[in-house]
Amino acid sequence: MRIFSGIRPTGNLHLGNYLGAIKQWIALQEKNECVFCIVDLHAITTPYEAKELQKNILETAIIYLAAGINPEKSIIFVQSQIKEHPELAWLLETITPMGELKRMTQFKEKSAKHKDYVNAGLLNYPVLMAADILLYKADAVPVGKDQEQHVELTRNIAKKFNQKFGQTFKEPASMILKEGAKIMSLTDPKKKMSKSDELKSCIFLFDSPEDITKKILSAQTDSGKDICYNITKKPGISNLLTIYSLLTGKRIQDIEKGFTRKGYGEFKKSLAEVIVQYLEPFRRKQKELSLREVYVEEILKQGQRRALIIAQETIREVKEKMGLI
Ligand code: TYM
């Protein structure tokens, strides 16, 4: 199978990005042809610092590598370095109904959040995402729950293109984990963990052990004192139990048993230790890789060369079918 996925380089990535997306990528690269993109053209649709962008792109590449993406197996590259992405997005925009874009949940949320920054790029965002995926004729797209609607739109666009211009694209499936697809905020467990929220709502992959401990100990919990999973009545503890289970491989029921008659404080202390230990190799590799910028840039260049071969072939086919060549 060919797999495609990407992350916006908006600075430090968090545990939600890791548990919902990257963790799946690591497993998938063993048996599949994987293409992992740093989607900088998506990152500029919401307010950002131009001065910071190159640094964030490099940091995201370092995160991919530190988390275990193997550049010998998988293609890692930067979206804006392959102009076929925006080119295909334009072509696909001509067959995408405006109405579908306006009803996308992410568009509604982001345009409500950045009221004075509702640009056409934000509306067309999902078409660029469809272009990312279809350019590589991917079979599957491992993402968190919040991106499911965009992958569904991608399938609709692929179907429409195939009907209009002849069989060209596969209809990609989204790969969404049963657990981990929606890690919630530490300060408001009814909302998903999100990079754009306050710092203490997220555990970042390179947070120091002290920060991790502080954030977990002050994470919002629910009334009562039992450590038991109940999404509606105890969203805070349930979210922490999910994180605990995903990082240790233990079943939630077993974790609950281990904490019978112990309070939230003890559970949180133990969870903080689990996270600190789990992320320790990330911090170590990140430190190593930050001293090897040239090596990381070389990986991105090599990724660009490999991705370009596939991208150019698809664009040529699409333009031929659309009567442009
Ligand atoms: P982005 O950068 O917002 O998030 C990257 C990945 O992390 C997942 N994710 C989460 N998973 C679980 N819990 C959370 N709290 C959480 N927050 C984020 C996201 O679902 C995603 O998988 N539009 C995409 C990037 C993109 C893309 C693509 C993805 C552009 N082109 C093509 C796949 C294929 C985005 O903004 O992800």
Pair type for strands 33-38 and 2-7: parallel
Q: How confident is the model at residue 122 (pLDDT cuts 50, 70, 90)?
A: very high
The angle subtended at Cα 185 by Cα 67 and Cα 259, nearest 5°, is: 85
Average pLDDT over residues 224-231: 91
CA of 142 to the centre of ligand 1 (A): 9
Percent of the chain residues topping a pLDDT of 70: 100
Average pLDDT over residues 168-184: 96
- B/e letters for 247-279, b = 16+ CB within 10 Å, e = fewer, are beeeebeebbeebeeeebeebbebbbebbbebb
Average pLDDT over residues 220-227: 88
CA of 21 to the centre of ligand 1 (A): 7
pLDDT at position 225 over 90: no
pLDDT of residue 323: 98
Query: Which of 63, 78, 143 for a ligand 1 pocket mutation test, highest count of atoms within 8 Å of Cβ?
Result: 143
CA distance 70 to 301: 15
Task: Outline where 115-232 has alpha helix (H).
Answer: 120-135, 148-165, 209-217
**Is the beta carbon of 67 within 6 A of some atom in ligand 1?**
no
Indicate which residue's Cα is closest to atom 31 of ligand 1.
129
Query: Which of 147, 175, 179, 247 for a ligand 1 pocket mutation test, highest count of atoms within 8 Å of Cβ?
Result: 147
Q: How confident is the model at residue 143 (pLDDT cuts 50, 70, 90)?
A: very high
pLDDT of residue 160: 98
pLDDT at position 164 over 90: yes
142 CA closest ligand 1 atom index? 22
pLDDT of residue 11: 79
The two structure tokens encoding residue 152: 């569904």
Sheet holding 75-78, edge to edge: 75-78, 33-38, 2-7, 140-142, 173-175
4 CA closest ligand 1 atom index? 34
**Is the beta carbon of 172 within 6 A of some atom in ligand 1?**
no
150 CA closest ligand 1 atom index? 23
The two structure tokens encoding residue 249: 């491989």
CB 243 within 8 A of CB 275: yes
pLDDT at position 222 over 90: no
**Is the beta carbon of 142 within 6 A of some atom in ligand 1?**
no
pLDDT at position 193 over 90: yes
pLDDT, one tens digit per residue, over 23-72 is 999 999 999 999 999 999 999 999 999 999 999 999 999 999 999 999 99
Q: Phi, psi (5° rounding) for residue 169?
A: -105, 150
Question: How much of the chain is in helix, strand and coil states, percent to nearest 5?
Answer: 60, 10, 30
CB 131 within 8 A of CB 138: no
CA distance 180 to 236: 14
- Domains by residue range for the chain, with CATH: 2-181+293-321 (3.40.50.620), 206-287 (1.10.240.10)
Residue positions annotated with a catalytic role:
110, 192, 195
User: What does pTM read for this prediction?
Assistant: 0.96
pLDDT, one tens digit per residue, over 64-104 is 999 999 999 999 999 999 999 999 999 999 999 999 999 99
Q: How confident is the model at residue 12 (pLDDT cuts 50, 70, 90)?
A: confident
Average pLDDT over residues 113-140: 96
CA of 146 to the centre of ligand 1 (A): 7
pLDDT of residue 223: 85
CA of 277 to the centre of ligand 1 (A): 25
CB 7 within 8 A of CB 60: yes
Residue 217 identity: L
